[in-house]
Amino acid sequence: MNQLAYLVPLLPLIGFLINGLGRKSLSKSAIGWIGCGTVLISFIISLVLFFDVKNGGGAVVSYFNFIEAGKLVIPFAFQIDQLSALFLLIITGVGFLIHVYSTAYMQEEEPQHFGRYFAYLNLFIFSMLLLVMGANYVIMFIGWEGVGLCSYLLIGYWFKNDNYNYAAKKAFIMNRIGDLGFLLAIFWLIAKLGTVSFGEVFAHVSSLSAIDLTAITILLFIGAMGKSAQIPLYTWLPDAMAGPTPVSALIHAATMVTAGIYMIARSNVLYSASEVAQNLVAVIGLATALFAATIAIKQNDIKKVLAYSTVSQLGYMFLGLGVGAYTGAVFHVMTHAFFKALLFLGAGSVIHAMHHEQDIRKMGGLKKYLPITHITFLIGCIAISGIPPFSGFFSKDEILAAAYNKNPVYWGLGVAGAAMTAFYMFRLYATTFLGSFRGTHDQEHHLHESPNAMTWPLLILAILSVVGGFLNVPEVLGGHSSLHVFLAPVLTTEITHETAHTTEYMLMGISVAVAAIAIIFAIGTFSRKPQLDDAAGFGKVLENKWYVDELYDTVIVKPLGNLSAFFKNVVEKSGIDGAVNGVGKLVNYSSRQLRLLQNGQVGSYILFMVLAIIVIVLIWVNDGYIYRFIVKLF
Amino acid sequence: MPERVLAMPIQYYIILSLSLFCIGIVGVLTRRNAIIVFMCVELMLNAVNLLLVAFSKVHYAAAYLVNKATTTGSEAQIFVFFIMVVAAAEVSVGLAIIVMMYRNVHSVDVNFLNRLKN
């Protein structure tokens, strides 16, 4: 079956080409069919590959040599194994649902822009598939750059709005900073091992010195920081809300931000060998999880809350990676893909109904107008809060349990973050769907449930959010840790400490209880409030995202801007221009002076001749002493 | 009488002909009258001739003391003849130019002949 592997990324690429080139001639429905159809077929092939891998198939399929230079050979190869097969399913599956949803959500766009949108969407899926399927770091890097480009294109999809363009640029530049780290790590690997293929690199880990290993893993992690929005490179992700809502869902759930997690999970052999890098990943992940959660509590834009929640959940995944729970992190990627896609698409449905109003202060009581959106959104909220038996509970619990084994402090902070997660999600839910409507009368009149193309993906994702967790029920709850077993061949180095069952029950009990209390408190506080209070004091700091954007602006952007202004006005104008123009002026001036020698007076010519003869004679007298001196000079 | 020839040091000849040559140069550079310039050119030619003849005689005298049948130094005399012939030809052309110049511009001022300028 591996022969079919190349079709998985190829089909979205074909979809991209058709939609991109034919966007002016194709009808909207044709564009929609092509866009969704290619991804659907990819999904079906991925399913086939997945079951093939499950039955012991899967291999590295090499197509041609991508780079050949001296001893370095980088093949264009795809790796089909447990990890990539699982990611393929998430990407194409969730991606397909988002495509279907988009056909309805973007219906108001002109056909030409509709085609452009679907072309970008397909290219996004293609890049992500390339990233996941690549059998070496270079092919992965191609996809890595591809998703960066597509996120830029899609965030700036409404390119007539300058703010959206700034957001797109911000995302691209932040990603570039991370990409540099990734690129350096690749170079380092080539320099030390002479290969970038996963299999060969992991087989030779022991030949790397500790310093090399730490440097490579930290550089890779810097790449992951950019792509997966971790401190300090996370600020682009909330701004990426400028794009259409399905794009946010795609970026946050199926593609893009999971790339960093995938890359580190893929490199788990390297990370397990480097204690320093692991601790760094765990600490950064935990810090991001808490930091973003505090910001999310005070946001009033429905998409911003979800965006910070994504940053926070990504922090949990990195915490999982850092404490060695690679399966837990991958599991959380999967369940998070389900419920975060669900939440974003639900938010999109709300925004659609509210005619592009995103401020939750102007919503409220939407429960009775949007029944399907309401129920699915509620499921998403419960899932992300970690209430059993919804999927978020299992994945988050696995990460927290592993964190407890590593260091109970990690666990304590993680539970605090989980409580905040539950609180801000239900604050969002309560303000949006409960209470009474706070918008204008006109808006209330037009409230309507979204079309089928939007509600069906919601329903499917809601079901997945509910049952997704049963894929990996831990043994302590009577399950078999199926995902654990499935991923065991690729994540061999996992550290598993056996914890007493009573301890595990206690950990679960505490985290669920804390989340439940936060939920009850949030609903109790926000469902009856007629209006959200304006933030004051510390809340103001949170509402303004700890002023991190302003900080970056003053510390990095402004000095850089001043520096470039200095280069432009001083170095460029007087330095480079001065030198270039100066040479011209010098030649002009000196030739004007030399011209005066040609005065047309025969006498002066003869004078020069005589003087020259005298000079020549002087050079040759004294046995050619002066002549030899001159020769020696040059 | 080679001994008498050698009795007079060669430096005297050199200084004399250098002086004549310099007078010629200064004349060419400073004077504007074409005829005087012309004469100064002749002066330089003759300074060279003088030097050649002087060297020739001194060389011959020195060689004669060793070998009576020597012909050393005769090349310089041949040179001098050549120079005199060329100078004669030059004089005839040069004077013709000066005559033509006078006929055309009624002047023999060399600075007047700067029509090639600009």
Domain residue ranges in chain A: 601-634
b/e burial code for range A29-56 (CB count within 10 A of at least 16 → b):
eebbbbbbebbbbbbebbebbbebbeee
Instruction: Specify the DSSP class assigned to residue A244.
Output: -
Q: Which residues pair with A79 in a beta bridge?
A: A60
| pLDDT score of B52 | 93
In a domain, B60, yes or no: yes
The rounded distance, in Å, linking the Cα atoms of A312 and A306 is: 10
Mean pLDDT by 10 residues, chain A (634 residues): 82 92 87 91 92 83 87 89 90 92 87 89 93 91 92 90 89 90 92 87 86 91 90 85 87 84 90 87 92 88 90 91 88 91 90 84 82 91 88 87 87 91 90 82 79 87 88 74 78 60 83 89 80 71 80 87 91 88 94 85 82 86 76 79
Number of domains chain B contains: 1
Q: pTM of the entire structure?
A: 0.78
DSSP bridge pairs for A75: A65
Residue A61 β-bridge partners? A78
pLDDT score, position B114? 66
How many CB atoms sit inside 10 A of residue A391's CB?
29
Chain B residues within an 8 Å CB radius of A603: 29-30, 32, 110-111
CB contact under 8 A, B110 and A610: no
Residues in chain A closer than 8 A to B117 (CB atoms)? 599-600
- Report the C-alpha gap between A226 and B71 in whole angstroms: 100
**ipTM exceeding 0.85?**
no
| Token code pair at residue A207 | 């030949």
Is there a contact between B31 and B37 (Cβ–Cβ < 8 Å)?
yes
Confidence of residue B101 (pLDDT cuts 50, 70, 90): confident
Report yes or no on B118 lying in a domain.
no
Residue A634 distance to chain B (closest CA, Å): 34
Q: Does B93 touch chain A (CB under 8 A)?
A: no
Enumerate the H helices of B1-118 as residue ranges.
2-7, 10-30, 34-64, 74-105
> Domain limits at B48?
2-109
Q: Rounded to the nearest 5 degrees, what angle is found at the Cα of B42, between the Cα atoms of B37 and B43?
A: 90
Task: Provide, as residue numbers in chain B, all residues whose Cβ is less than 8 Å from the Cβ of A606.
Answer: 28-29
Residue B20 lies in a domain: yes
CB contacts, 8 Å: B37 with chain A: none
Q: Is residue B44 part of a domain?
A: yes
pLDDT of residue A555: 87
Which tokens sit at B95?
């004077």
CA distance A332 to A469: 9
Cα(A239)–Cα(A296) distance, integer angstroms:
13
% of chain B exceeding 70 in pLDDT: 94
* Per-residue confidence (pLDDT) for residue B31, from 0 to 100: 87
Distance in Å from the first CA to the final CA of chain A: 74
Residue type, A519: I
pLDDT single digits (tens) B24-78: 999 988 888 889 988 999 999 999 999 999 999 988 888 888 888 888 888 889 9
CB B6 within 8 A of CB B62: yes
Distance CA A252, CA A299 (A): 18
Smallest Cα distance from A587 to chain B, Å = 22
Q: pLDDT higher for B98 or A604?
A: B98
If you measure CA to CA, which chain A residue comes closest to B117?
A600
Cβ(A422)–Cβ(A526) under 8 Å? no
Q: How far is Cα A193 from Cα A180, in angstroms, rounded to an integer? A: 20
Looking at residue A440, what is its pLDDT?
78
Collect all residues of chain B within an 8 Å Cβ-Cβ radius of residue A602.
110-111, 113-114
Residue B79: band (very low, low, confident or very high) from pLDDT cuts 50, 70, 90: very high
CB contact at 8 A, A41 and A11:
yes
DSSP string, A431-444: HHHSS---S-HHHH
Tell me the CATH number at B48.
1.10.287.3510
CB contact under 8 A, B114 and A606: no
Tokens 């690429």 belong to which residue?
A13
Distance separating alpha carbons of residues A518 and A425, to the nearest angstrom: 10
Whether residue B114 and residue A601 make contact (CB cut-off 8 A), yes or no, is yes
In 10 A of CB A142, how many CB atoms? 14
One-letter amino acid of A549: D
- Quote the pLDDT of residue B42: 92
The two structure tokens encoding residue A505: 């029950």
Picking from A287, A257, A295, the residue whose alpha carbon sits closest to that of residue A420 is A295
pLDDT for A124: 92
Identity of the amino acid at A381:
C
In a domain, B82, yes or no: yes
pLDDT at A616: 86
Q: Is the pLDDT of residue B116 over 60?
A: no
Cα nearest neighbour of B110 on chain A: A602
Gap between the Cα atoms of A430 and A308, Å rounded: 18
Do the Cβ atoms of B118 and A600 come within 8 Å? yes
- Give chain B positions within 8 Å (CB) of A601: 111, 114
C-alpha distance from B18 to closest chain A C-alpha (Å)? 13
